[in-house]
Every structure is written in structure tokens, then in C-alpha cells.
Amino acid sequence: MPETIANGISLHYDIHGPETGEPLLLIMGLGAQMTRWSADFVGELASRGYRVIRFDNRDVGLSQKLDEAGAPDMQAVYAAVMSGQKPPVAYVLSDMAADAVGLLDALGIESAHVVGASMGGMIAQAVAIEHPERVRSLTSIMSTTGDRRVGDATQEAIGALMAPPARTREEAIERAVAGSRIIGSPGYELDEAAVRDRSGRAFDRAHDPLGVARQFVAVLASPDRTPGLRSLRVPTLVIHGREDPLVRLSGGEATAAAIPGSELVVIDGMGHDLPRALWPRLTDLILGLVERVEPARRAA
């Protein structure tokens, strides 16, 4: 798997599709490795002629771990956020957005269609706000604005998110199955075998609970993006599940309301995951936006 230095961070990534295809950058969410973008899902995007790039965010997977930062002090971070002080964190979402832009730099890509899921949607939003010239289109999936009044999780979903980290491979698999039953898509049958296989492979590839904790406080410490979203002039699609218990629908609605001219697609039965049965619809939605943007961009 290729590796490069981006924004001073070592990132692992891979690329699928023709070298001449228009670039599509996928950004995954909290604690999720790039392999959470299924190879079949990525393959569908690539088969339609796009150059699809996925990567491990800092502190997860095979990308650089900021172990020197140690474990975050959750209480101190919460206290600082609530009092309006600077939280004691190793990095924030803007730094992760700069990683994504650094990866484009390393690959010699001037701009890309950017797609983010959950925390990845937050990072994608930050890329569009802070580096607008690098974003051809923005797709924000099951994400929110950073305004704490919207997109709040249910108590059950919070409990699943805050559960103690798994210590063994078997624990990781059982936690993944239990978590999927809580935050997954109630309108679609849970593929337990696929969840078990995916979570086992993820554990084998990399397991770093402290890295996930540092990502979590990066989200907490990052400011509300609503003012920046209002300034965007990039074609934007917001996708959200009506039954999402981890980032509730109000987060997606607020994202779409803030971005001028954006399109909101609410999917009945979808929770906080990307069930296989929805992949054809999701790829059509993502590429529908891309295919509307590209002719106008080439003509400009």
C-alpha cells in the first residue's frame, strides 16, 4: 500500500480506477480505517471512470499515530469546550482537513470531488471551507455542522460510542455487532457475518484505541462550522438517514440549510452506516452530483 507525507503526517492510501479519471477523495469517520469504504463500493465508483482515493486518517489504520500526545484528558477537554477556552488536544478537524489537502498535493492533484462520512463529513466540510479551491464538489454523509444544538445522539448511541475499547479480537468483533444493532440502519437487514468479518480484519490491520480517543476529542474541540458553511459556493450534496441515532437528522438538515444551493437527500430506514443494499443508490447520488459538475467545470 502506498504511503506519503502529507501536512507533515505519514498517510497510507490507495487509488482505484483509471489514472486519467477525475479524482474522487473519500474521507472516513471516527476510528474507521479507509477499508471501511468497502472495496466493492469503491470498485463501483472506479468502474464508472473515476480515480478513487481513500486513505487512513491520522491516528488510525496504517497512518501515523500521534502516540507522543498520549491519552487525552476527557474531563479537561469538556471543561475547556464548555467554558470557551482552548481545549488541550493534539489536533482538531482543521488539521485533519490539511492532511487531506496534503495528500492531494503529494499526488499532484489540484482539486477533487470530496466525499466524507460521519466525522469524515466534518473533515470534508473543513476542506471546503478552508481550501475551497481544492474542492470541485462536496458530499457530506451522515454528518453535522459542529453546532451542538443539532445532530445530537440518542443516549443508547452515546453508550455504544463511549463503551470501553476492546482488548481482544473477539471483543472487537462482538462490540462491532452490538454497536451495529444500535446505530445501524433499521430499514435494512443487518449482515452480521459481514460485520464480523470486517471488524476482525480491521482489528488485525490496526488497533489503537488511544488514536480513536484523540480523534474523538478533535471533534469536540473543533468550532461550529456553520458560518464557514454559509460562505461556500461549491456544489454540495448532503445525505442523511432518517433513523440515524448517532448523528440525528437535524445535523444533516442544518448542514444543507447552511450551504447555499445544496441538495438534501434523506433516506428512509438508513441509520449511521452504509448498508450494502444502499450502495447503488449512494453511488448514483454521489456520481450524479459529480457528473453535473464536471461539464460546467471543463467549460469554465
Asked if 4 and 15 count as a contact pair (C-beta separation under 8 A), the reply is no
Is it the case that residue 7 has pLDDT exceeding 80?
yes
Q: What is the mean pLDDT of residues 242-252?
A: 98
pLDDT score for 300: 64
pTM across the whole model: 0.97
Asked if 228 and 127 count as a contact pair (C-beta separation under 8 A), the reply is no
Residue 55 three-state SS: strand
CA distance 209 to 78: 19
Strand order in the sheet with 236-241: 3-6, 9-16, 51-55, 23-27, 112-117, 135-141, 236-241, 263-267
Domain that holds residue 203: 3-299
Mean pLDDT of the chain: 96
Is it the case that residue 299 has pLDDT exceeding 90?
no
Is it the case that residue 229 has pLDDT exceeding 80?
yes
CATH code for the domain of 231: 3.40.50.1820
Q: Where are the alpha helices (DSSP H) in the chain?
A: 39-47, 74-83, 93-106, 119-130, 155-161, 169-183, 192-205, 209-221, 226-230, 249-258, 279-299
Q: What is the mean pLDDT of residues 197-220?
A: 97
Amino acid found at 117? A
Torsion angle of the four alpha carbons 212, 126, 33, 116, in this order, in degrees rounded to the nearest 10:
130
Is it the case that residue 283 has pLDDT exceeding 70?
yes
Give the lowest-confidence range in 93-107, 156-170, 244-258.
156-170
User: Total structural domains in the chain?
Assistant: 1
Q: What is the mean pLDDT of residues 13-17?
A: 97
C-alpha cell at 236: 454540495
Give the lowest-confidence range in 133-137, 218-222, 226-230, 295-299.
295-299
- Give 131-142 pLDDT, tens digit per residue: 999 999 999 999
